[in-house]
Amino acid sequence: MKKTLSIHLGRQLFTIEEDAYQRLTEYLKRLEQSLSPEEDVKEILEDIEMRCAEIFQMKLTENKMIVVTLKEVEEAIVSLGEPEVISEESGSFQSTNTNASSKEEDVKRRLFRDMDNASLAGICAGMAAYLNIDVVIMRILFTISLFMGFGFPLYIILWIVIPNAKTPSDRLQLRGKPVTVDTIKEEISRTAKNKKSEFMQATEKWRNNPQVSERARHLFGIFAKLIGVGFIAFSCIWLIGFTLTVTGVLQIFPVTGDQNYASFREYLLLVCPNENNSLNFMWWSILITGFTAPLIGLIIGIRIFMNKKSKFFTISLIGLPLVFVCGIIMIIISTIHTLRDYEAYADYENKHLTIQSDELILEELPLKINNRKIVNHGGFNFFNIRNGRLTDHGVHIKYKETTDTVFHIYQVLSARGIDLTAASKRSEHIQHKMTISGNKLLIDPYYNYPLSDGLRDQEIEIIIEVPKGKKLFINGLETKIDGKEYGGVLYSDEAFESYAEEEDD
Amino acid sequence: MNHENTQAQMRKGILEFCILSILNKKEAYPSEVLEQLKNAKMIVVEGTLYPLLTRLKNMELLSYRWEESTSGPPRKYYSITANGQATLSALEQTWNELQNAVETLRT
């Protein structure tokens, strides 16, 4: 499809396509310029225009067309003849012909920015053409000056100060060629031959819009290119990293025990132990989201960088975000599902001991590794997974007064699940060592539970009821009991601290 | 474009002579003049005719009138004037003299 115009040529009305119109106008202009002004240029031109109109009319009728196209214009020009031929044959040429200076005269050169050969703003190209040296040399010089520090502001200043070579006459002056009808014709056909990609034409039309400043728009174009590159780079990095993490090639999640680092999927297993495909659902939703996001970024980046509109881009820029949103929704769903698995909790009373002494001394169970007693240790930070069991650190100790005359000690195993049954099953699986010898209560600050149960807030609670008047020592310190309930967490590498707990009614 | 081009000079002079000869026989439209030139194997582009016709008209060797046409706008219908005929005779004489001289010199 082409844009058309309405012209009044040789007393007839024609609809003509835009490019044909350009050609025709250019031809008539050249004709006018080449005719000697001593003669009736106006009349001659009129005659020729009328003849041209006749030719058009004939061709349109012959071919049953309604619009004059480039083909008709060019055929008419062939028939009528090029301006040079006409003026020569009819002896009607301009006597003040500047073609006399076809020798290399000192035609005054003017410095312009050459946007046709430009890579950024045409400054290097323009200066190279002006000085008649290679563009590459110019660019090298500029890059060097960039590193020397003054290159960048110099470039900006030159960009603002040096005008752009817009017309063919500008371009001729830049190169020091004389500006005549012939050279202009050459210049026009030369620049028309440079096949401009859609991109150049689009940005050129955009640039030529008088409402926005040309430089601002060009600057924006460069900025957009940079953003596009940024998008592409970032998406690629994300894509590579994500792929490696997800496929388990990259194991960066620190653990201790059987391995030093776990893969992403193994980490996920802790939270979503594989029951009823909940893990797979979560896994796929993460995959979908994680791969779609960089793809979107890549396409946005390429689209901005190349500034090309294409069906592929539009479709994918609608489709991919949709997929991405689906992935997010799936993640939300699986997260909710996982959270439900934390709702119910069951505290399972595993042991109940009574002690009749006057004092109860509570101490850490000494840690034995390979039957050797470790006196002091600490620095336990990450998950410890060994032989399919996860070891955790920190036992809750609660103590309060009782009206009874003997010490009561309860070991409570606590875990969470989607319902009581699930929760209590998990709590049964917890293993914890607690021993009595005399009036000494030895409590292991570590406990473990099966990996396949997942992280479900498994905890140990030791509840000690202290008869009135009797004393309780924890790790060598006497505890204060005055009617309130106290609680604290026993770690192996910290001093035991307890706080009064609020009574909840 | 070269002032010095002998060929162009020769053609230009002769073209004017040809046009006057054609129009001497009968009135004609520019396109008809072109047709006759083509038939006589005198190859010119259409465009050349118009400046020549206009010049000859300005020198009052030709005149034209507007002929209405059924298909389209009116067209110029050229005819030779008395002055034109006189110039033509003079040109014919010059032509004959030239022809004789050149023939003599060539052989």
User: DSSP letters of B63-84?
Assistant: EEEEEP-SSSS-EEEEEE-HHH
Spatial separation of the C-alpha atoms in residues A93 and A37, rounded to whole Å: 9
Model pLDDT, residue A210? 59
Element (H, E) at A133: none
A39 contacts in chain B (CB < 8 Å): 51, 54-55, 58
Residues with Cβ within 8 Å of A222's Cβ and at least 6 positions away in sequence, in order, are A120
Contact B45 A89 (CB under 8 A): yes
User: Pick from A57, A83, A90: which is nearest to B52 by CB?
Assistant: A90
Backbone angles phi and psi of A492, in degrees to 5:
-80, -20
Token representation of residue A366: 């000494």
Residue of chain B nearest A43, judged by CA positions: B54
- The distance of B47 to chain A (nearest Cα, Å) reads 4
Model pLDDT, residue A344? 83
Query: Which of A388 and A65 is assigned the larger pLDDT?
Result: A65
Residue A164 β-bridge partners: A113
Mean pLDDT taken over chain A: 80
- The distance of B82 to chain A (nearest Cα, Å) reads 22
B11 contacts in chain A (CB < 8 Å): 89
Spatial separation of the C-alpha atoms in residues A470 and A474, rounded to whole Å: 13
Q: Is the pLDDT of residue A218 over 70?
A: yes
pLDDT confidence tier of residue B36, bands split at 50, 70 and 90: very high
- For β-strands A359-364 and A440-450, DSSP reports them as parallel
Indicate the pTM of the whole model.
0.43
User: Pick from B8, B30, B31: which is nearest to A89 by CB?
Assistant: B8
Contact B54 A47 (CB under 8 A): yes
pLDDT confidence tier of residue A101, bands split at 50, 70 and 90: very low
**Pick from A245, A3, A227, A225: nearest CA to A121:** A225
A392 in Cβ contact with A457 (< 8 Å): no
Cα–Cα–Cα angle for A210, A211, A214, nearest 5°? 60
Highest mean pLDDT among A135-144, A389-398, B8-17, B55-64: B55-64
Model pLDDT, residue B104? 94
Which amino acid is located at B44 in the chain?
Answer: V
The pLDDT tens digits of the residues spanning B52-79 come to 999 899 899 999 999 887 777 788 899 9
Model pLDDT, residue A98? 44
Q: Is the pLDDT of residue A241 over 90?
A: no
Contact B50 A51 (CB under 8 A): yes
Spatial separation of the C-alpha atoms in residues B49 and A292, rounded to whole Å: 71
Contact B1 A92 (CB under 8 A): no
The pLDDT tens digits of the residues spanning A290-300 come to 888 888 888 88
Mean pLDDT in residue range A381-386: 72
pLDDT confidence tier of residue A118, bands split at 50, 70 and 90: confident
Spatial separation of the C-alpha atoms in residues A378 and A143, rounded to whole Å: 58
User: Pick from A51, A81, A93: which is nearest to B30 by CB?
Assistant: A51
Contact B45 A35 (CB under 8 A): no
Looking at chain B, the whole-number percentage of residues with pLDDT higher than 70 is: 96
Q: Is the pLDDT of residue A495 over 60?
A: yes
Q: Which residue has the tokens 């012909």?
A: A97
Residue of chain A nearest B31, judged by CA positions: A51
pLDDT confidence tier of residue A102, bands split at 50, 70 and 90: very low
User: Pick from B47, B52, B71: which is nearest to A80 by CB?
Assistant: B47
Model pLDDT, residue A99? 44
Spatial separation of the C-alpha atoms in residues A9 and A15, rounded to whole Å: 10
Q: Where are the beta strands (DSSP E) in A60-160?
A: 67-68
Spatial separation of the C-alpha atoms in residues A264 and A246, rounded to whole Å: 6
Model pLDDT, residue A379? 66
Query: Which of A112 and B6 is assigned the larger pLDDT?
Result: A112
pLDDT confidence tier of residue B21, bands split at 50, 70 and 90: very high
Spatial separation of the C-alpha atoms in residues B77 and B57, rounded to whole Å: 12
pLDDT confidence tier of residue A212, bands split at 50, 70 and 90: low
**Pick from A121, A99, A110: nearest CA to A175:** A110
User: Pick from A79, A84, A86: which is nearest to B51 by CB?
Assistant: A86
Contact B45 A79 (CB under 8 A): yes
Mutation site, B7, B15, B48, interface A, largest A CB count within 10 A: B48
Backbone angles phi and psi of A197, in degrees to 5:
-75, 165
Residues with Cβ within 8 Å of A372's Cβ and at least 6 positions away in sequence, in order, are none
Which has the minimum average pLDDT: A201-215, A232-246, A312-326? A201-215
Model pLDDT, residue B77? 92
Which amino acid is located at A450 in the chain?
Answer: P
Backbone angles phi and psi of A294, in degrees to 5:
-65, -30
Query: Which of A383 and A125 is assigned the larger pLDDT?
Result: A125
Looking at chain A, the whole-number percentage of residues with pLDDT higher than 70 is: 87
User: Pick from A35, A54, A86: which is nearest to B72 by CB?
Assistant: A54
Model pLDDT, residue B88? 92
Residue of chain B nearest A97, judged by CA positions: B1
B1 contacts in chain A (CB < 8 Å): 84, 87-88, 93, 97, 99
Token representation of residue A63: 């071919």
A316: number of Cβ within 10 Å: 18
Contact A39 B54 (CB under 8 A): yes
Number of A–B residue contacts, CB under 8 Å: 87
Contact B8 A91 (CB under 8 A): yes
Model pLDDT, residue A201? 63
Tell me the C-alpha to C-alpha distance, in Å, between residue A334 and each of A286, A425, B37: 10, 22, 92
- The distance of B103 to chain A (nearest Cα, Å) reads 25
Cα–Cα–Cα angle for A156, A158, A162, nearest 5°? 130
User: Pick from A12, A54, A84: which is nearest to B1 by CB?
Assistant: A84
Spatial separation of the C-alpha atoms in residues A168 and A179, rounded to whole Å: 9
Q: Is the pLDDT of residue B49 over 80?
A: yes
Residue A4 β-bridge partners: A17
Query: Which of A226 and A217 is assigned the larger pLDDT?
Result: A226
A81 contacts in chain B (CB < 8 Å): 44-48
**Pick from B85, B31, B47: nearest CA to B63:** B85
Residue of chain A nearest B10, judged by CA positions: A89
The pLDDT tens digits of the residues spanning A344-367 come to 888 888 888 888 888 888 888 777
B62 contacts in chain A (CB < 8 Å): none
A48 in Cβ contact with A99 (< 8 Å): no
Mutation site, B7, B11, B12, B54, interface A, largest A CB count within 10 A: B54
Enumerate the H helices of A247-310 as residue ranges: 264-271, 278-306
The pLDDT tens digits of the residues spanning A4-40 come to 999 999 888 999 999 999 999 999 999 888 887 777 7
Looking at chain A, the whole-number percentage of residues with pLDDT higher than 90 is: 9
Spatial separation of the C-alpha atoms in residues A251 and A261, rounded to whole Å: 5
- The distance of A170 to chain B (nearest Cα, Å) reads 24
For B:3-62, CB contacts with A below 8 A are 5, 8-9, 11-12, 15, 30-31, 44-55, 58
User: Pick from B44, B45, B58: which is nearest to A40 by CB?
Assistant: B58
A180 contacts in chain B (CB < 8 Å): none
